[in-house]
Amino acid sequence: MKILISNDDGYQAPGIVALHDALKTIADVEVVAPEHNNSAKSNALTLHSPLYVHQAANGFRYVNGTPADCVHIALTGLLGYRPDLVVSGINNGANMGDDTIYSGTVGAAMEGYLFGIPSIAFSQVDKGWGEIESAARKARDIVQQMAAQQLVGEAPWLLNVNIPNMPFDALRPLKLCRLGRRHAAERVITQQSPRGEVMYWIGGAGPAKDAAEGTDFHATAQGHVAMTPLKVDLTDHDHLGYWAQTAARLAADPSAPV
């Protein structure tokens, strides 16, 4: 089994080091990750400036770009082969609910999925890297189980996994979940620069709005490892009928009221 590892915290982050050390015991692994922290970069690709690839002393390769850049470059020429699995993480903090839209960790895994490769994004629920070795061991077990069920290297799928910061033996079993929802983000933070200009900092994520049973928020709060299958299709299938009627009216008479 050949695995490409990436992340959004940067190639020196404890999470990617622990993930590499765990997965190298069961597969041939290569790391291609951002040079610096790229949290909340989602699926962004760098199109208007050159990208450079360097190799660290430990063999990790790092790129002056986004998580999606790293996976894209790796899969379109850098590696020279097609990996069986793309694994992103382990992120320093949760990627649950609406966070997945912004997440660079999920973005790196999604890039693998878009290339037709099974992909997993791993995150720890709390920041600070507490019990990171436990999380890496759990990630390795999940990858092993997927391979044992012959799900690796076959049809593509995309999984988002959040692991509580707990000792390995205290983690409760894997639980399949839907994404929860968050309240709106906190207010923007303003400061004055040394030159007297107003600076704006994006506020923190809001608290959980939908953390009901069945969500990733609820599962991890109970000590479970939360796994959510994701898809890329953003089509609002439930309301296609409504919009079909609206589109028909617009096509018939663009000036007609909706």
Binding residue ranges: 8-9, 39, 91
Residue closest to 167 by CA, chosen among 119, 124, 199, 133: 133
Cis peptide before 132 (omega within 30 of 0): no
Annotated binding-site residues for a divalent metal cation read 8-9, 39, 91
Helical axes 14-23 vs 132-148, angle rounded to 10°:
40
For the chain, how long is the longest CA-to-CA vector?
66
Tell me the three state secondary structure of residue 208: strand
Contact indicator for 97, 181 with CB cutoff of 8 Å: yes
Q: Which neighbouring-strand residues pair with 6?
A: 88
